[in-house]
Protein backbone atom coordinates (compact mmCIF):
# COMPACT_ATOMS: atom_id res chain seq x y z
CA UNK A 1 0.00 0.00 0.00
CA UNK A 2 1.26 3.48 -0.85
CA UNK A 3 2.51 5.52 2.12
CA UNK A 4 0.04 8.32 1.28
CA UNK A 5 -2.84 6.06 2.33
CA UNK A 6 -1.19 5.66 5.74
CA UNK A 7 -0.87 9.44 6.01
CA UNK A 8 -4.49 9.91 5.02
CA UNK A 9 -5.60 7.28 7.52
CA UNK A 10 -3.64 9.00 10.30
CA UNK A 11 -5.15 12.37 9.36
CA UNK A 12 -8.69 10.96 9.35
CA UNK A 13 -8.06 9.09 12.61
CA UNK A 14 -6.87 12.33 14.26
CA UNK A 15 -10.31 13.95 13.81
CA UNK A 16 -12.39 10.84 14.58
CA UNK A 17 -14.03 11.85 17.86
CA UNK A 18 -17.67 10.84 18.35
CA UNK A 19 -19.53 13.41 20.41
CA UNK A 20 -22.97 14.82 21.11
CA UNK A 21 -23.30 18.49 20.20
CA UNK A 22 -26.89 18.87 21.39
CA UNK A 23 -29.90 16.66 21.90
CA UNK A 24 -30.41 16.90 18.12
CA UNK A 25 -26.88 16.79 16.71
CA UNK A 26 -23.98 14.34 16.91
CA UNK A 27 -20.66 14.57 15.15
CA UNK A 28 -17.43 12.72 14.56
CA UNK A 29 -18.68 9.13 14.37
CA UNK A 30 -17.20 8.95 10.87
CA UNK A 31 -14.13 10.79 9.61
CA UNK A 32 -12.59 11.18 6.18
CA UNK A 33 -9.47 12.40 4.46
CA UNK A 34 -9.27 13.71 0.91
CA UNK A 35 -6.01 14.04 -0.97
CA UNK A 36 -6.10 16.91 -3.46
CA UNK A 37 -4.23 16.78 -6.75
CA UNK A 38 -1.71 19.22 -5.24
CA UNK A 39 -0.85 16.65 -2.56
CA UNK A 40 -2.54 18.30 0.43
CA UNK A 41 -4.70 16.24 2.79
CA UNK A 42 -8.02 17.68 3.98
CA UNK A 43 -10.15 16.12 6.71
CA UNK A 44 -13.77 16.19 7.75
CA UNK A 45 -16.20 14.48 10.09
CA UNK A 46 -19.84 13.54 9.73
CA UNK A 47 -22.41 15.77 11.36
CA UNK A 48 -25.75 14.05 11.96
CA UNK A 49 -28.98 15.84 12.84
CA UNK A 50 -32.43 14.59 13.74
CA UNK A 51 -33.84 16.19 10.58
CA UNK A 52 -31.31 14.65 8.15
CA UNK A 53 -29.72 18.02 7.42
CA UNK A 54 -26.31 16.69 8.38
CA UNK A 55 -23.28 16.10 6.22
CA UNK A 56 -21.10 13.10 5.47
CA UNK A 57 -17.45 13.12 6.47
CA UNK A 58 -16.34 12.83 2.85
CA UNK A 59 -18.30 15.89 1.71
CA UNK A 60 -17.16 17.78 4.78
CA UNK A 61 -13.53 17.02 3.84
CA UNK A 62 -14.22 18.03 0.22
CA UNK A 63 -15.79 21.30 1.38
CA UNK A 64 -12.71 21.89 3.53
CA UNK A 65 -10.59 21.39 0.39
CA UNK A 66 -12.76 23.82 -1.59
CA UNK A 67 -12.67 26.35 1.27
CA UNK A 68 -8.88 26.22 0.99
CA UNK A 69 -8.91 27.02 -2.73
CA UNK A 70 -8.67 23.57 -4.31
CA UNK A 71 -11.19 21.50 -6.25
CA UNK A 72 -9.40 18.49 -7.73
CA UNK A 73 -9.55 15.21 -5.80
CA UNK A 74 -6.97 12.45 -6.12
CA UNK A 75 -7.86 10.02 -3.31
CA UNK A 76 -10.57 9.57 -0.65
CA UNK A 77 -10.45 7.57 2.58
CA UNK A 78 -13.19 7.20 5.16
CA UNK A 79 -13.16 5.66 8.63
CA UNK A 80 -16.66 4.34 9.40
CA UNK A 81 -17.98 3.86 12.97
CA UNK A 82 -16.93 0.21 12.97
CA UNK A 83 -13.71 0.31 11.00
CA UNK A 84 -13.97 -1.89 7.96
CA UNK A 85 -15.48 -1.73 4.52
CA UNK A 86 -17.20 1.38 3.35
CA UNK A 87 -17.80 3.43 0.22
CA UNK A 88 -19.01 7.00 -0.24
CA UNK A 89 -22.78 7.40 -0.35
CA UNK A 90 -24.61 8.55 -3.45
CA UNK A 91 -24.54 12.22 -2.44
CA UNK A 92 -20.76 12.10 -1.93
CA UNK A 93 -20.25 10.33 -5.26
CA UNK A 94 -22.48 12.85 -7.00
CA UNK A 95 -20.48 15.78 -5.61
CA UNK A 96 -17.19 14.24 -6.75
CA UNK A 97 -18.57 13.57 -10.23
CA UNK A 98 -19.89 17.12 -10.57
CA UNK A 99 -16.59 18.61 -9.35
CA UNK A 100 -14.57 16.58 -11.86
CA UNK A 101 -16.93 15.49 -14.67
CA UNK A 102 -14.10 14.82 -17.12
CA UNK A 103 -11.87 12.84 -14.74
CA UNK A 104 -13.99 11.60 -11.83
CA UNK A 105 -13.46 7.99 -12.87
CA UNK A 106 -9.80 8.24 -11.82
CA UNK A 107 -10.46 9.24 -8.19
CA UNK A 108 -9.18 6.45 -5.96
CA UNK A 109 -11.26 5.42 -2.96
CA UNK A 110 -10.07 3.25 -0.10
CA UNK A 111 -12.85 0.73 0.41
CA UNK A 112 -11.19 -1.32 3.17
CA UNK A 113 -8.05 0.06 4.81
CA UNK A 114 -7.21 -3.11 6.76
CA UNK A 115 -7.21 -5.17 3.56
CA UNK A 116 -5.85 -2.43 1.29
CA UNK A 117 -8.86 -2.59 -1.06
CA UNK A 118 -8.94 0.41 -3.37
CA UNK A 119 -11.46 1.11 -6.11
CA UNK A 120 -11.86 4.04 -8.45
CA UNK A 121 -14.94 6.22 -8.47
CA UNK A 122 -15.39 5.03 -12.05
CA UNK A 123 -15.75 1.46 -10.79
CA UNK A 124 -18.25 2.55 -8.13
CA UNK A 125 -20.11 4.94 -10.42
CA UNK A 126 -19.51 3.62 -13.95
CA UNK A 127 -22.15 5.63 -15.77
CA UNK A 128 -23.27 9.05 -14.69
CA UNK A 129 -26.35 10.76 -16.11
CA UNK A 130 -26.71 8.71 -19.26
**CATH top class, domain 3-124:** alpha beta
Q: Which of 18, 29, 127, 130 is nearest to 78 (CA)?
A: 29
- CB-based contact 35:58 (threshold 8 Å): no
pLDDT string in tens for the chain (130-residue length): 799 999 999 999 999 999 999 999 999 999 999 999 999 999 999 999 999 889 999 999 999 999 999 999 999 999 988 777 788 999 999 999 999 999 999 999 999 999 999 999 999 998 877 5
- CB-based contact 4:75 (threshold 8 Å): yes
- CB-based contact 74:36 (threshold 8 Å): yes
Buried b (16+ CB within 10 A) or exposed e, 4-35: bbeebbebbbebbeeeeeeeeebbbbbbbbbb
Amino acid sequence: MERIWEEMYAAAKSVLAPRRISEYVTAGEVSAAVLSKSGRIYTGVCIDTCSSLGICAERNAIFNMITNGEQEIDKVLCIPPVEGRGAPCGACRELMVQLMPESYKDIEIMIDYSKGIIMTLGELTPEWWI
